[in-house]
A and B are shown apart, each in its own frame.
Chain A
Amino acid sequence: MTEPDVAGGSDSDPTIEPTEEPRQGKMGIVVSVLFVGAVVFFAMFASKFGQDQLISASPLIGRTVPATALPYLERSGELSLTEYDGDIIVLNFWASWCPPCRLEQPDLVRAADELSDLGVTFVGVLFNDDAGAGSRFLDTYGRSDRAHYVLDDRSLMAFDFGVIGLPETFFIDRQGVIQAKISGGVSYELLVATIEQMILGNTPESVKTGELQTRN
């Protein structure tokens, strides 16, 4: 019985029948190499679009707030974050269609009511939604007289802050520098702890608390 010609030299020797085995062996090596290439390609492909990648990059931390002005949601006039230099700003992006936004709203209202006297300004930015739905949301889940609600009808502030889903909350220090970001819903305790760190002059840690919501 003829041994399989693993080296593949049978082509030059007419006495030896070509067999399937060595071809499969070589094919295995070729396929292995190609697959490694595919794995690397897809790993790169996946990382390019991964939301977590975008979050961990946090390119905005340490930047000064942009001067973009937005109209108030329920009254005339415009708000620009630069008006509040000297205050700690809690900037919360939300929408009426976002379930975690409903959960966090009472906590945001409570924090705004209780902490505004400490020089903390709460700004709620209605994003990717219409004004009517936003107002109905506030009617249902609560609004704070101490907070400011604005409408980002053209997504301008959302682009400035790199918003990729809702809710997202940014913390801006008294010098107007973005210090931290919470991706996902916030709780009263987390808000207080983060603001406390900023009042003490520390840099709070950016965290992710849950899935971000997007709307098709």
Chain B
Amino acid sequence: MRELRRIIRIALPLAAILLMVLALWPVPTPLSAAERVDTLSSRLVCPVCRGMSLKDAPNKVAKDGVAFITDKVDEGWTDDEVYQYWAGTYGNQAILDPERSGLAPVLWGVPTILILAGSYVIYRRRRGGTPIAVDSRVVEQRIEQVGVDLADLERQVADGELDAETAEKLREVYELEGAALSKKESNPTAPASVESRIKAGAFGIGVVSVMIGIVAVIGLNNPQSNAVEGVAGDVLSGQTINLDDVTNEEMEVIVANNPDVLAMRRALARRYFDDGEFSKALEHFLYILEREKDAESLATVGWMTFLSDNPDTAASFLDEALKVNPDYLTAQVWLALVRLEGLNDPAGAVPLFERALRAPEMPDETRTVIEEALALARERIDGGSG
């Protein structure tokens, strides 16, 4: 009897909730042709607009797309037929998820919150957290490499292969790296405790989260971010090689055999950077910078320098990147973050964030992230630094 009462106590509220849900469940009503076109065009990706729907994108091709859907709906195509056509020519990625309604905005907002939380963790770590244990052999090897790089740099300066300004910047980076590595070598961190490992892990994941988030939502707007990683044809003895199928090791061989093909080296450096292998990425980006100043290499070296606790040098590289390509959105946002977090200069960050927000065709999520960072900078200006 007691068991029965318990079952009733649980079942009754559940039944009541179920009835409420059923009562409130919207009864689908047939949509008009205009409503169907509206829904379809909000779910089909504009093919030339990088992530915007046909409905939201302002250009001619998007308008042509909406007109195309209107024609097909008038011809009697079902919604599924329209989706199938679009996915059939552009791939499944060209169909956006259902419109954000109900709980969806919460789900879409979570990553933004996580990025900010990640930034907070990084900020806390940078303000005197636990050092991360390093492998002393790796440090020794890297110190040796820095020495070789410095010697090579001096030789290039002596031979007139490198201008003084670039040489000075590279020397500064090498010396800073060497100093940081020497510090690690002379004072190796004891085996990390479980707690410090967790913190270190949180820090690492925080950095990666913020970077992936920013790169994912902002990098889309950089005209160079989709740069060639596909085929290097004529330059490589007439053969075409699809780099998507090539491993990093194979690319190293290709780069070693074609040292002057900087696009290949840049693609490899970008891979290392994306994988978080900053030492390898730095090596290749610096090689490129010794030969040509491109915005991507300057900016990425700047960002890695910032992550190595050298905000002044980082800002200098990012400034250079923006001189080369003033519209490079990723560099604008990275420099703003360096000014905000590294140089405690929110006033210097604000105009950069504002400029970044003026970029056309930016996904809403990107805009939200930058707006929140801008709000943070303004808050710091209003409340004093810190």
Contacts and interface: CB of A to CB of B under 8 A. Distances in A.
Interface of A: 6, 21, 24-25, 27-29, 31-32, 34-39, 41-43, 45-57, 59-60, 128, 154-156, 158-165, 183-184, 187, 189-190, 205, 207-212, 214-216
B69 to A, nearest CB: 10
Given A32-B198, A207-B230, A54 B93 contact: yes
A59 B223 CA distance: 25
B48 A215 contact: yes
B230 A184 contact: yes
* Residue with the highest number of chain A CB atoms closer than 10 Å, among B50, B61, B87, B234: B61
Given A45-B365, A190-B233, 20 more contacts: A28-B195, A31-B117, A35-B118, A42-B212, A49-B93, A49-B220, A51-B226, A59-B89, A59-B91, A154-B64, A159-B89, A162-B90, A163-B47, A163-B48, A165-B48, A184-B230, A189-B234, A207-B242, A209-B231, A216-B58
Interface string B95-109: 010000000000000
A45 B242 contact: no
Contacts of B215: 46
A208 B228 contact: yes
B61 to A, nearest CB: 5
A49 B89 contact: no
A178 to B, nearest CB: 11
Interface in B183-233: 195, 198-199, 201-202, 205-206, 208-209, 212-213, 215-217, 220, 223, 226-231, 233
Contacts of B360: 216
A198 B140 CA distance: 55
The secondary structure that dominates the A interface is: helix
B53 to A, nearest CB: 11
Given A31-B121, A187-B234, A211 B227 contact: yes
A215 B121 CA distance: 40
Given A42-B216, A60-B89, A187-B234, A155 B65 contact: yes
Contacts of A27: 202
Given A28-B195, A42-B216, A155 B50 contact: no
Contacts of A189: 234, 238
B357 interface: no
A37 B110 CA distance: 10
B59 interface: yes
B208 A208 contact: no
Contacts of A158: 47, 61
B77 interface: no
A166 B226 CA distance: 14
Contacts of A54: 47, 90-91, 93-94
29 contacts: A21-B195, A24-B199, A25-B195, A28-B195, A31-B121, A31-B205, A34-B114, A34-B117, A35-B205, A38-B114, A38-B209, A39-B205, A39-B208, A39-B212, A42-B212, A48-B51, A49-B363, A52-B230, A128-B61, A154-B64, A155-B61, A155-B64, A158-B61, A159-B47, A162-B47, A163-B48, A164-B90, A187-B233, A211-B228
Nearest to B120: A31
Give the interface size class of chain B: 35 or more
A35 B242 contact: no
Interface of B: 45, 47-51, 58-61, 64-65, 67-68, 87-94, 96, 110-111, 114-115, 117-118, 121, 195, 198-199, 201-202, 205-206, 208-209, 212-213, 215-217, 220, 223, 226-231, 233-234, 238, 240, 242, 244, 360-361, 363, 365
A206 to B, nearest CB: 9
A214 B114 contact: no
Q: Main secondary structure on chain B at its contact with chain A? A: helix
Residue from B67, B110, B215, B233 whose CB has the most chain A CB atoms within 10 Å: B233
A113 B228 CA distance: 30
B106 to A, nearest CB: 13
A164 B48 contact: yes
Contact of A216 (B202, B213, B361): B361
A50 B217 CA distance: 11
B216 A43 contact: yes
Nearest to A214: B48
Nearest to B202: A28
A43 B208 CA distance: 11
Given A31-B117, A53-B93, A183 B213 contact: no
Smallest CB-CB A-B distances: 8 pairs: A208-B230, A57-B91, A162-B89, A46-B216, A38-B114, A155-B64, A49-B51, A35-B205
Contacts of B61: 128, 155, 158
Contact of B202 (A32, A55, A155): A32
Given A41-B111, A216-B59, A25 B93 contact: no
B145 to A, nearest CB: 30
Contacts of A37: 110, 114
Contacts of A216: 58-59, 360-361
A154 B51 contact: no
Nearest to B199: A28
Contacts of B87: 59
Contact of A31 (B60, B206, B361): B206
A19 to B, nearest CB: 12
A7 B177 CA distance: 39
Contacts of A190: 233, 240
